């Protein structure tokens, strides 16, 4: 079972995309705009990875952002970028904890 499958099985994860740091789309789950999401997630992850290194934070593992209705988590796994949409946004903490346990 892939990490994408594991993320897709979590409660309140409504879609998930796996790509890489260059923004290339590998696979997706219930995300009609998988290629666009992979491109944006790859750009965000690579930019924040560079910022983290410049700030001395070490290797970036995850990014979480939340809005009023939904949230998104981005995980870095070696050269892969895994991202999931969480609805409702208040479920973000529970999803983050589940992903940490699976790590």
Share of the chain above pLDDT 90, in %: 74
**If you average pLDDT over residues 43-48, what whole number do you get?**
93
Residue 103 has a pLDDT of: 73
State the architecture of 3-102 in CATH terms: 2-Layer Sandwich (3.30)
64 pLDDT band, cuts 50/70/90, is very high
Q: Where are the domains of the chain?
A: 3-102
pLDDT of residue 101: 85
CA distance 63 to 61: 7
According to the model, what pLDDT value does residue 18 have?
97
Question: Residues 6 or more apart from 95 whose CB is under 8 A from it?
Answer: 10, 11, 12, 13, 71, 73, 84, 86
């Amino acid at each position: 079972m892939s990490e994408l499958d594991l993320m897709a099985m979590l409660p309140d994860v409504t879609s998930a995309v796996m790509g890489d740091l260059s923004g290339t789309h590998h696979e997706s789950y219930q995300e009609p705009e998988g290629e666009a999401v992979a491109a944006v997630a790859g750009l965000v992850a690579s930019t924040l990875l560079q910022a983290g290194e410049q700030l001395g934070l070490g290797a970036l593992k995850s990014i979480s952002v939340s809005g009023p209705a939904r949230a998104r988590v981005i995980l870095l796994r070696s050269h892969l970028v895994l991202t999931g949409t969480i609805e409702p946004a208040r479920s973000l903490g529970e999803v983050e904890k589940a992903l940490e346990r699976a790590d």
